[in-house]
């Protein structure tokens, strides 16, 4: 009985769905254009607002949104900012934005020049719009990988030597690129010159993991998917806050020491994350303490600080956990083969070495830098499970991997 | 130039500083060796971690420092590092000296034949291109991690050296050989650029870090490979002093003295190639020392006689490398500077001063 009534309710609700779309006028138009323009109507009843991101902002008007990218590269000045005017299609473009790029929304075919946009596109149901990327080698998203394998996606490269002809030929409605502040690496100047609608989306400049993940909302702006972006991101932010609450009350004595040195270390120089870096924020939120994290050299910087190996050796010998951020290493044996002095560390002896390569593909593309960027709550959960296994006993590691002895 | 003009030059080059300079040479050598020993002692006692002198002496004399970590830092960090710096500095300096003589070019260095580019390509292949599967392959041959990088660099350097040898045995003209070496360097460098272009930022950064150079990467486990190659190369070079002196006077004159040019040239390329390849493989591409140290050695001793300049370049090179490493460690601070920046930044003024004070430079290359 119960099952039948449930089924009936389901059928009725499915049948009513199209009517619901038309009858509720409080939605953004995610698939269509305005047919008869009314200047008094707010065409964007669903809005986003950055809570953690500091690199972009948006102001809504009845039929257009003005989007500012404030930090196209680290250390950008006001004059470096970009402005984009997103106009609801089927409505007139506003006057007075001569310097800004006008883009009709909901936008269409998209070329993404960074893998960090891919998880957002997936979350927002926008992957169908993707027609190309800079390279197919380093992407981890399974759907995108499959489409590259099938030859359905363009590879256009990046930087000043980006394949402009291929991009012009593909006629994308939108290209998402990131800025570096250096003409040697920037792609957007070349594309702007060619008249391609390129938007500089430098999510990597953000100061916090949640700030970077919140660029989902930024991408949603171009497809009027604000409602979905809010829903997806706020769920992640809430989950991140819940996880942080698990460790907030831990005393210093209960916080394990974590030796974390990035990809950047080589022989003499060991780069320890600065106190404002993502690594430091993650370890703090996961209830740990970074080795050399209280050193004066690491304060108030997001950059890695190059310590002498012997300094790190002395400070990190007894660290409980080691995150070496290395690549090309499968086992602890491989790891120690890099430098026999690694074997002296307690974390190696105790098998407490973790690397963030659990989801690395054959070409070295690492999902930690792709879906991990969009899912800080998963990265944090991994770290809590490593630092305090008792707090998240059920959690299975997503991005990190314990290096096995052999 | 005519042979007679060249012959008259050698005495003049020596005469610049006169007989008294000749008499001072043993003293100068003694002083340099004393300074070298002092530098080694300083390098062992100064570092980012403050260790009391008594603990350092105890660790070095087979005892235990008051902390285990300190014993390890002295014996397993500072000692292999200062040894590596001395060997690498000596190798690059002597290698540079020989290349400058061979090509009669004051700008030549041990890498002029593209050998370090070959090493870079090997490293780039490991770090940038093949990625995890490539390293897994190397690990399968027992060549994991840094040794994998060193192995790849050695293979790359060796292949380029073989190619240079092959070409050198076919063309007699040294200028042509120089240009061929440069071209090889460019071609191999272009391959590295391609790999860089298609790689991801994290790996590019790792490759850039390798390029900063470091003496700290050679552990005792790797020393049995590194030291014999370098010492072997140095010994080979030391046997070449006489034919090198003849080469200074011009190839035709050297040939008339009975020097077998082809054989000497190959010996120089093998000796320098081995040393340059090993240093690049284990320490990264260390620039500057190979050009600068020979000039410093020549100007200190006021001669181009290889019986003097080879040992002089050896000591000066070792000394410069140790000094550069000391500065890179920035004693008193716990952070470090990139080695290659230090060698050039602090070394260039020293060399400029030395060159300004010695007027024999032209005589060595004309």
Domains of chain B: 3-365 (1.10.3470.10)
Lowest mean pLDDT among B26-35, B196-205, B258-267, B306-315: B196-205
Please check the confidence at residue A160 and state whether its pLDDT lies above 90: no
Report the alpha-carbon distance of residue B145 to residue B135 in Å, rounded: 8
* The predicted structure's pLDDT at residue A398: 97
Contacts of A267 in chain B (CB under 8 A): 146, 214-217, 284
Helices (H) and strands (E) in chain B, counts: 18, 0
| Contact in structure between B13 and B364 (CB atoms under 8 Å) | yes
Contacts of A278 in chain B (CB under 8 A): none
Percentage of chain A with pLDDT > 90? 72
Mean of pLDDT values over A116-136 = 96
| A327/B339 touch (CB, cutoff 8 Å), yes or no | no
Phi, psi of A67, rounded to the nearest 5 degrees:
-110, 130
Q: Identify the residue with better confidence: B249 or A14.
A: B249
* The predicted structure's pLDDT at residue A4: 59
pTM: 0.83
| Confidence label for B3 from pLDDT (cuts 50, 70 and 90) | very low
Q: Identify the residue with better confidence: A7 or A151.
A: A151
Structure-token pair, residue A183: 């003409």
When the pLDDT of each residue in chain B is averaged and rounded to a whole number, the result is: 82
When the pLDDT of each residue in chain A is averaged and rounded to a whole number, the result is: 90
| B77/A365 touch (CB, cutoff 8 Å), yes or no | no
* The predicted structure's pLDDT at residue B120: 87
- Residues 255..314 of A with a Cβ closer than 8 Å to B: which? 263-269, 295, 297, 305-311, 313-314
Helices (H) and strands (E) in chain A, counts: 14, 16
Q: Identify the residue with better confidence: A338 or B4.
A: A338
pLDDT digits (tens, 9 = 90+) for B268-311: 988 898 898 889 888 988 888 998 899 989 888 888 899 999 99
* The predicted structure's pLDDT at residue B139: 46
User: Which sequence spans correspond to the domains of chain A?
Assistant: 56-235, 249-402
The ipTM estimated for the assembled molecules is 0.78
| Confidence label for A10 from pLDDT (cuts 50, 70 and 90) | low
| Distance (Å) from the alpha carbon of B35 to chain A's nearest alpha carbon | 24
Contacts of B216 in chain A (CB under 8 A): 267-268, 309
| Confidence label for A267 from pLDDT (cuts 50, 70 and 90) | low
Report the candidate in A46, A401, A79 with the shortest Cα–Cα distance to residue A229: A46
Structure-token pair, residue B212: 């900063």
Report the alpha-carbon distance of residue A348 to residue A366 in Å, rounded: 23
Q: Identify the residue with better confidence: B234 or B344.
A: B234
Structure-token pair, residue B247: 């080469």
A355 Cβ under 8 Å from any chain B Cβ: no
Report the alpha-carbon distance of residue B84 to residue B218 in Å, rounded: 7
Please check the confidence at residue B119 and state whether its pLDDT lies above 80: yes
pLDDT digits (tens, 9 = 90+) for A165-208: 999 999 999 999 999 888 888 999 999 999 999 999 999 999 99
Taking the alpha carbons of A354, A359, A360, A365 in that order, is the dihedral positive or negative? negative
Taking the alpha carbons of A380, A382, A388, A392 in that order, is the dihedral positive or negative? positive
Q: What DSSP assignment string belongs to A152-195?
A: -SEE---STT--HHHHHHH--SEEEE---S-TTT--HHHHHHTT
Report the candidate in A329, A339, A406 with the shortest Cα–Cα distance to residue A364: A329
Please check the confidence at residue A261 and state whether its pLDDT lies above 60: yes
Phi, psi of B63, rounded to the nearest 5 degrees:
-90, -170
Choosing among 1.10.287.70, 3.40.50.720, 1.10.3720.10, 3.40.50.1980, the CATH entry for A249-402 is: 3.40.50.1980
Domains A56-235 and A249-402 share a fold: yes
| Distance (Å) from the alpha carbon of B140 to chain A's nearest alpha carbon | 10
Please check the confidence at residue A359 and state whether its pLDDT lies above 80: yes
| B336/A344 touch (CB, cutoff 8 Å), yes or no | no
A343 Cβ under 8 Å from any chain B Cβ: no
Q: H-helix or E-strand containing B309?
A: helix B306-328
pLDDT digits (tens, 9 = 90+) for A366-396: 999 999 999 999 999 999 999 999 999 999 9
A335 Cβ under 8 Å from any chain B Cβ: yes
Q: Does domain A56-235 have CATH number 3.20.20.20?
A: no
């Amino acid at each position: 009985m119960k099952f039948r009534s449930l089924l009936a309710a389901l059928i009725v609700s499915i049948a009513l769905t199209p009517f619901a779309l038309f009858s509720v006028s409080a939605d953004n138009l995610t698939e269509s254009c305005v047919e008869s323009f009314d200047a008094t109507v707010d065409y964007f009843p669903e809005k986003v607002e950055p809570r953690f991101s500091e690199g972009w902002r948006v102001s809504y008007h009845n039929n257009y949104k003005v989007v500012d990218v404030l930090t196209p590269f680290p250390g950008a000045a006001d004059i470096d900012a970009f402005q984009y005017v997103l106009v609801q299609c089927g409505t007139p473009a506003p006057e007075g934005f001569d310097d800004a790029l006008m883009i009709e929304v909901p936008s269409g075919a998209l070329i993404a020049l960074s893998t960090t946009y891919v998880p957002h596109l997936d979350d927002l149901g926008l992957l169908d719009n993707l027609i190309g990327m800079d390279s197919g080698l380093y992407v981890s998203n399974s759907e995108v990988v499959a489409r590259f394998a099938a030859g359905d996606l363009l590879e256009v490269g990046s930087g000043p030597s980006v394949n402009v002809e291929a991009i012009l030929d593909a006629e994308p409605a939108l290209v998402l690129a990131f800025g570096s502040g250096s003409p040697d690496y920037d792609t957007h100047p070349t594309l702007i010159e060619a008249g391609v609608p390129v938007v500089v989306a430098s999510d990597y400049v953000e100061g916090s993991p949640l700030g970077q993940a919140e660029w989902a909302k930024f991408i949603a702006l171009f497809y009027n998917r604000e409602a979905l972006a809010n829903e997806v991101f706020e769920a992640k932010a809430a989950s991140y806050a819940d996880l942080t609450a698990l460790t907030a009350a831990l005393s210093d004595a209960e916080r394990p020491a974590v030796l974390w040195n990035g990809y950047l270390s080589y022989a003499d120089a060991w780069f320890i994350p600065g106190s404002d870096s993502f690594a430091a924020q993650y370890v703090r939120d996961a209830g740990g303490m970074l080795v050399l994290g209280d050193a004066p050299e690491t304060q108030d910087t997001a950059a890695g600080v190059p310590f002498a190996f012997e300094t790190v050796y002395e400070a990190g010998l007894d660290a409980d956990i080691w995150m070496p951020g290395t690549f090309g290493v499968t086992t602890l044996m491989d790891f120690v083969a890099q430098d026999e002095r690694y074997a002296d560390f307690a974390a190696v002896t105790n098998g407490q070495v973790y690397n963030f390569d659990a989801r690395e593909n054959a070409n070295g593309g690492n999902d930690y830098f792709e879906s991990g960027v969009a899912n800080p709550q998963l990265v944090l959960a991994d770290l809590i499970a490593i630092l305090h296994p008792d707090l998240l006993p059920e959690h299975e590691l997503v991005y990190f991997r314990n290096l096995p002895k052999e | 130039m005519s042979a007679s003009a060249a012959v008259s030059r050698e005495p003049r080059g020596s005469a610049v500083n006169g007989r008294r300079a000749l008499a001072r040479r043993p003293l100068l050598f003694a002083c340099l060796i004393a300074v070298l020993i002092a530098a080694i002692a300083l390098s062992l006692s100064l570092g980012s971690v403050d260790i009391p002198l008594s603990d350092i002496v105890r660790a070095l004399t087979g005892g235990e420092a008051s902390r285990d970590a300190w014993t390890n830092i002295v014996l397993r960090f500072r000692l292999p590092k200062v040894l590596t710096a001395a060997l690498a500095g000596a190798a690059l300096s002597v290698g540079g000296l020989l290349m400058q003589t061979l090509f009669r070019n004051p700008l030549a260095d041990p890498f002029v034949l593209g050998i370090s580019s070959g090493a870079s390509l090997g490293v780039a292949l490991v770090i940038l291109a093949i990625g995890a599967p490539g390293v897994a392959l190397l690990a399968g041959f027992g060549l994991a991690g840094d040794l994998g990088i060193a192995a790849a660099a050695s293979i790359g350097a060796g292949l380029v050296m073989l190619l240079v040898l092959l070409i050198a045995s076919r063309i007699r003209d040294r200028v042509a050989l120089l240009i061929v070496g440069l071209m090889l360097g460019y071609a191999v460098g272009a391959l590295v650029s391609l790999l860089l272009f298609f790689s991801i930022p994290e790996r590019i950064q790792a490759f850039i870090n390798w390029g900063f150079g470091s003496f700290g990467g050679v552990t005792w486990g790797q020393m049995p490979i590194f030291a014999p190659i370098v010492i072997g190369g140095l010994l080979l070079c030391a046997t070449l002093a006489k034919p090198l002196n003849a080469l200074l006077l011009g190839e035709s004159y050297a040939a008339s003295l009975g020097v077998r040019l082809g054989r000497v040239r190959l010996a120089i390329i093998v000796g320098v190639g081995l040393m340059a390849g090993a240093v690049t493989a284990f320490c990264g591409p260390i620039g500057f020392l190979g050009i600068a140290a020979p000039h410093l050695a020549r100007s200190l001793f006021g001669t181009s006689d290889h019986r003097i300049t080879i040992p002089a370049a050896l000591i000066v090179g070792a000394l410069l490398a140790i000094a550069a490493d000391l500065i890179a460690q920035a004693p008193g601070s716990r952070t470090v500077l990139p080695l290659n920046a230090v060698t050039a930044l602090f070394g260039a003024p020293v060399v400029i001063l030395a060159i300004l004070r010695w007027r024999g430079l032209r005589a060595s290359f004309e």
